[in-house]
Every structure is written in C-alpha cells, then in structure tokens.
Structure 1
C-alpha cells in the first residue's frame, strides 16, 4: 500500500489548477444537473485533495469522503446516499465485483453513480494504450462491461463523452 501511495502522491490534483477543475467538471456538471437540491453524496476514492466534493458542495450538495489511503472513514460506508462519485478510481479496484456490490449497496433507489475512467476500446488499441502502463491501474472496463453492470444492478446508464458514465438505480428497487 505504501508503494501505491507513493505513486498517488506524485499526482498534482489541486483546487487551484484550472485544467484539473475543467477535467472534473465533465462529471460534476452533469451530476449537479441531475441531483435534487441538497442531495447527500459520497466521493468514493476522493484522494488527498477532495476537489470534486468541493465542487459538488458548491452546487449545494452535502458530500462525505472515503478513500482507503487518504480518508479512511469507514463509518461513511455504513449508510446510503443519493449519489456517489468515483473519478479515476475503479481502475484501482483489486476486487471489482466486491467493490461494485458495495457501491451499489450504498446508493438509495433512484440514486446516482457517476464514474470517470478510460474505457478499453479493443484488444489492438489496448496494446498501445498509455492508461494500462500506470502500475496502479489493475482493472479495466469497456462499454459492454458498463452496460453489464447497469443490467446487473438494475440501472439506467448514460455515457457522456469517452470516459464519463452515469448510472441511476431503478427508483422502484428496494434497498439492500
């Protein structure tokens, strides 16, 4: 875990970086447009500087933080939320099946999961893909995988651009 943290610590993701804010806005803006006022959410994998949480709080939402390295607030995994955001997180999942079951269990019926990750295009492109070269990226997802997750967890799904995916749990599904 320490070696992994050392790699993460090299990232320069801060609230005064206009490029980083623009990057995060590709998820923050669509999510903010979907959420009812004062929704309660979780920034899952928030990292050392929870910039996305701050952006969503700026839209009037309440956001709790969880990150196994930087914000290990396990108590925040004991309730359900109106939304969860994961930016550049799911590619780090050691056990994707278990992590997605946890995430969808934390979302209220009718709630939202917003994900940012680069999607695999195909085998040929994968061999040349820079994203796989990050040693902390150990799980990769494709559009069909995301569609499968939507079906598995009874969600509507929308792909926004090449790397933003928003899923909404069926509002008539009972909580786990």
Structure 2
C-alpha cells in the first residue's frame, strides 16, 4: 500500500484497534489510515458541525496562541496570510488582524473560496487540519504553491512518538484523523520543499520557504 505523502510502497502494518488499522511509512515515517476506513465527506462535515470553536472562546484563543505567538514574531508588519482549514468559527483572522496583519479564511466545507487558491501569501496557518488531509502530498504541494519565497507555514497538530504511546493515544480515536506526522515526518517534508524548520512546542511546527 502506497504512502499518501511520499508515495513509497515501503509501508507496513503499525497498529490496529476496534475501528481501523494504521500503517507506517518506512521512508517519511508518516502514520496513516488506509482509505477503506475513511469516512465520507458528509459524515466528516457532520462531525465538524459539532465543533464549538469560536473567536469568543478564550480557551480556544489560548490554544491557538501556542502557534500564533511564535509565528507572529517572525512576520513583517501588514503581512498577508491564509488560514487554511479555518473551520466554521474562524478565530485566527480576528486574532492576527488585531495585530495589524491581514488574513483570508479558507475551508473546504465552510469558506470554499477557490479564488483564494490563486493568490500568494506571506504566511499560511493550518491548525488542527493537516491530520484530516486524505491526500497530504497534494495538499502540501498546494500550500507550497500559495506561499511566497521567505514565507512561513505554521502548523498545529499533535505528533506521535512511539507505538506504546500511540496505542493509548486519544488523538487517533477521532475517525476524521487519518494522517499523523511525527517530528521525523516534518523533517522529511522540510527537506522535500526546501524549508527551514523549527518546533516551538510539542504540537506546533513553523516552516520557512527558502
């Protein structure tokens, strides 16, 4: 079975629970759920509709700040960004625009404005979204095409560490989570796209396009 990130056929069974099985790529180290276990778009949206994230939720704003504080420190004044996978209650836009930046919202279900995918951005955020990508290589190539040289890609997603921890990991139990990116996987991505990389926290990564 081919890896959806690097396309290698060198993948192997990693773990199995009551819901589905998981595979691990020996090349890029991505852990992924085979397509046969993916939910439909309709079911996926129904699950997303249950999310209660909103700009008024101080806890959610604090959660996002784990990425936004280190990212905003790198941005030039009035930098223009894209919140890719912003969800039904976009929060990054008002948070960063309060600091003088400009942000566009894009989401395949809630803010599907295809014209935004023809622009170039100084920075892109994707928070709690990349683990939902069913074609991560194509979607990362899209994000790379939208990012200006020198721009930043800020990602928030929880990272797997080892098999024992994975077996007890609540994060894998969300049936819409189908790709899990370890630190090694992010280094592979950085090498593929020629990005600098840093990890501000245990669930954040900032990549800079060189």
TM-score, length of structure 1 as denominator length: 0.94
Matches within 5 A, 1:155-170: 155-170=195-210
Matches within 5 A, 1:1-176: 1-170=41-210
Distance (Å, rounded) in 1 between the aligned partners of 2:176 and 2:160: 16
Distance (Å, rounded) in 1 between the aligned partners of 2:97 and 2:125: 13
Gaps spanning 5+ residues in structure 1: where?
171-176
Deviates more, 1:111-120 or 1:53-62: 53-62
Gaps spanning 5+ residues in structure 2: where?
1-40
Larger radius of gyration: 2
Q: What is aligned with 2:3?
A: none
Distance (Å, rounded) in 1 between the aligned partners of 2:202 and 2:44: 26
Aligned residues: 170
Q: Which has the higher helix share?
A: 1
Distance (Å, rounded) in 1 between the aligned partners of 2:159 and 2:178: 13
Runs of 4+ in structure 1 off by over 4 angstroms are none
Distance (Å, rounded) in 1 between the aligned partners of 2:165 and 2:110: 33
1:28 Cα offset (Å): 1.2
1:35-80 per-position Cα deviation (integer Å, ceiling 9, x unaligned): 0000011000000111011111111111111100010011100011
Query: What is the SS of the residue equivalent to 1:47?
Result: coil
Query: What is the SS of the residue equivalent to 1:110?
Result: strand
Query: What is the SS of the residue equivalent to 1:120?
Result: coil
TM-score, length of structure 2 as denominator length: 0.79
Root-mean-square deviation (Å) = 0.8
